[in-house]
Structure 1
Amino acid sequence: MKYRRKKVFLILDGHPAHEAKEVKEYLKLLNGKLGFYFLPGYSPDLNLNEFVWNHLKTNLLSERFLDSKGTILNNVRVCLESIKADVKLVRSKSVSYLYD
């Protein structure tokens, strides 16, 4: 952020941590170089992270035995790499739970 010439905008959901005191203080330190856009509440269809996590849970992690933090982290990394390698999936905007 230090060497950015243009303002950077983050799109955030309504998680309380995004409006925490520490976040607001950090924003002030950046002197307007960072801006937030907040998504409306209960709108997972607008939050692209929800697409990724839904795909992970329903298609990649649902049949794996996850018995430790290390196993979970490793499986999530492997699954995220497989998503990254699937160009059609990355460019798609459909998620099954949106249409159930």
Structure 2
Amino acid sequence: MIDRKVSPDEWVWSYTQRTGNARRPLQKGEKLEPRVAAQLTAIGNNPKLVRSFFKHPSVAYITDL
């Protein structure tokens, strides 16, 4: 197993890809950008979820949490 350090940004994108928008295809005429922006806003409004990205063992090198 490779000991790779993953940034919190990568955890956010991974979460975004695995949940929400990835689960529902775009409808005809629907744009991806507003859906992703809404999902990122929802993530930002959830302090517990945001903290979880920084508490992951692979980002321990960044913070003292």
Fold similarity call, TM over 0.5:
yes
Paired residue type of 1:51: W
> For 2:52 and 2:8, how far apart are their aligned partners in 1?
11
> Normalised by the size of structure 1, how large is the TM-score?
0.43
User: Counting strand residues as a fraction of each chain, which structure ranks higher?
Assistant: 1
> For 2:21 and 2:34, how far apart are their aligned partners in 1?
11
State the identity %. Answer: 25
> Normalised by the size of structure 2, how large is the TM-score?
0.62
> For 1:57 and 1:46, how far apart are their aligned partners in 2?
16
User: Counting helix residues as a fraction of each chain, which structure ranks higher?
Assistant: 2
> For 1:46 and 1:56, how far apart are their aligned partners in 2?
15
| Larger RCO (CA within 8 A; separation ≥ 6) | 2
Aligned to 1:61: 21
Unaligned runs of 5+ in 1: 1-41, 95-100
Unaligned runs of 5+ in 2: 57-65
For these two proteins, the number of residue pairs brought into alignment is 51
Q: Which runs of 4+ in 1 moved over 4 A?
A: none
1:73 is paired with a residue whose SS is helix
